[in-house]
Structure 1
Amino acid sequence: MWMVLNSPSGSWNPVERLIFPAPTPSYTIESFPGELIQIPRRDGAQVPCLFLPFRHARFLIIYFHANAEDLGLSYTFCQVMRDLFQVHILAVEYPGYGICPGTPDEAGIMDNARAAMDFAINSLCWPADGIKLFGRSLGTGPTTLLATEYTVAGVILISPFTSIRALFENQVGRLADFVEDRFRNLHLAPRIKSPTLIVHGMQDGLVPPDHGLKIYSAITSRRMLVTPAAMGHNTSLLKD
């Protein structure tokens, strides 16, 4: 069951702001009528999500957006993805992003991610083997972790990082030792049992392409790596 959305609250420290730089909310509770829903977490909190159904879809994609986005900024991409691939889309908001209350951290993001998966399986009655998990940048964190907990139809990782600390090492060197490690995608990769597609642009200046290559090499299930030569970290996925 989903309910009326609440307003966000809370703040976080400067280090968390560097790791989770949430943009100014691009949408309100009145945005996307009939498509912006709220689903319950086990702790009683509510998770804003976009649910974009497609008639007679064979698959449902659970989408986890990038770091500097929220559901509003992801809406057009989700629409195009739904129509192009003829799938249902369930896009998940993170705590502290958009109109979702809470603090953006790994635990809160995973609580939201698991709530979305539970909603898809138990409320929408959609089987796990009909679900594809799709994450971009920050979104590859919850996508990878969920993929170790469920066997799904497929996993899509766009510009994945090996871990938050490793990503910071590329930018600030030894100062990254002061950053608590989280979303250890490389460590988790061997536990992914579903077919996995990794797309990592060779011009990515934020997450070096070798992060994606390392994760690809660590996955033991069926996998594919695509490395577009001209693609950067923020290149639109709606282009050719």
Structure 2
Amino acid sequence: MTCINIDEEKLLSSSASPESNPDFLVIRIIGRIVLSVLKQCWALSSTMFITICIFYWIFGGISAFVLLCFSAAGIVYRAGDQLLYYPEIPPNSRIFVPAPNTVDLPFENIFIKSMDSTKLHAYFIPQPQANQCATILFFHGNAGNVGHRLPNVKGLYKHLQANLLMVEYRGYGLSEGTPSESGLYKDAQAALNYLFNRDDIDHRRIIVFGRSLGGAVAIDLASRTCNSDRIACLLIENSFTSIPDMAIQILPWKGLRYLPIWFHKNKFQSKRKVTSIQCPAVFISGLSDQLVPPTMMLDIYTHCGSERKLLLQIPNGDHNGTWTRQGYYAQLERSIHDVCSDRILHQQQVQHLSVHTV
């Protein structure tokens, strides 16, 4: 079993729309499960139905019921990716990817080979003197493509004076392949490796940024031993502790909390992984987030193993629009300076910081 973590392009409608009602959200999730079974698993479903009938005829109702439960679990497990990844929302997201020059940003249109040779599409947006500033590796959420994040990226480019690499996960935008948890982790590692293969940027000043689903991808990347000295700062915004935790949060079925972890195809266990992170980290939490409870961001921050970490709480920030709130970029810039000025700005050691609130 799994659930969706709906990001910017999945929540384009206003708060007054039916989608903002939890009951309608549950109906949509259930409907997507049914459609996934019909579209993706019809052959398996038909086979299981025939097998169940045979079991019922030979062994009786109990055996058939047990087989039915296993079959349903298997079908839902196989449909897990359909419930989490939305690369085709909004429509034409796999065909048209807005370019940075549409918001007056310079860019290089590049393609990167992932760790399994899957070709990934990316935009590199350089500052005039690219080797004299930090570089942000930007991981997007679970819907749309990198072009839909350009207004936010323009703000990061302008206010943080940093280069940016925006990479599209496999199966998103113009990238090849199909989304999967392990695949996204490979894509993130390939993007970081790409930055270290460039000779026109400062490798000591690479910042990894992830929002929502991208936050889970960024945490996995930063938790890997091979990257412990490669990431100068980690920025996580409105992300979750794990997909099983999100399933419990979104779906009103009390039995979900008793399901074993292996029942979920996608896990993204950020709360467990964040304990091994040692690099400076800033956790940005919109306190008006109606999708991912702000308590999850607090939980991730609390369990983070870094001695230089900071929780930046924005009272009126929602899941998709925290970055649009007044003072966001100024507070983010100051937070980065506070937690890692020794690695990003002045090469000075700073003490561990507690919660910082806008």
Which band: TM-score by shorter chain?
Answer: 0.7 to 0.9
Q: How many percent of aligned residue pairs carry the same amino acid?
A: 28
Deviations 1:147-171 (A, max 9, x none): 1122321100001211111111111
Length-normalised TM-score, structure 1: 0.87
For 2:109, which of 36, 61, 68 is the aligned residue?
A: 36
Letter in 2 for 1:119: Y
Q: Whole-Å Cα distance in 2 between the matches of residues 158 and 133 of structure 1?
A: 11
1:80 Cα deviation after fit: 2.3
- Once superposed, what is the RMSD of the aligned Cα atoms? 2.3
Which runs of structure 2 are paired with 1:194-205 in the superposition (5 Å)?
A: 194-205=279-290
Change (3 A) 1:185 1:102: same
2:297 matches 1:212 = yes
**Runs of 5+ unmatched residues, structure 1:** 1-10
Report the Cα offset of residue 44 of structure 1: 2.4
Which structure's residues are more often helix, by fraction?
2
Q: Tell me, what secondary structure is at the counterpart of 2:323?
A: coil
Distance 1:215 1:74 in 2: 24
Select the residue among 213, 221, 227 that pairs with 2:313.
227
Question: In the alignment, which of 77, 80, 93 is matched to residue 15 of structure 1?
Answer: 80
Q: Is 2:317–2:323's contact at 8 Å kept on the other side of the alignment?
A: no
Select between 161-170 and 27-36 the one with higher mean Cα deviation. Answer: 27-36
Does the aligned pair in 2 maintain the 1:25–1:70 contact within 8 Å?
Answer: no
* Structure 2 CA distance for partners of 1:231 and 1:239, relative to 1, 3 Å: closer
- CA-CA distance at 1:124 after TM superposition: 4.1
C-alpha spacing 1:84/1:166, structure 2 compared with 1 (3 Å):
same
Offset, 1:59 = 0.6
In the alignment, structure 1 residue 161 sits paired with structure 2 residue 240: yes
Corresponding residue number in structure 1 for 2:133: 58
> Could you say which structure has the larger radius of gyration?
2
Other structure's SS at 1:227 match: strand
User: What are the superposed Cα offsets for residues 36-64 of structure 1, whole Å, 9 maximum, x if unpaired?
Assistant: 21112243221101110002242110000
Matched length: 230
For 1:19 and 1:182, the matched residues in 2 are separated by 11
What is the SS of the residue equivalent to 1:101?
A: coil
Alpha-carbon distance in structure 2 between the residues aligned to 1:98 and 1:192: 30
Contact 1:165–1:180 under 8 Å retained in 2: no
Q: Structure 2 length as normaliser, TM-score?
A: 0.60
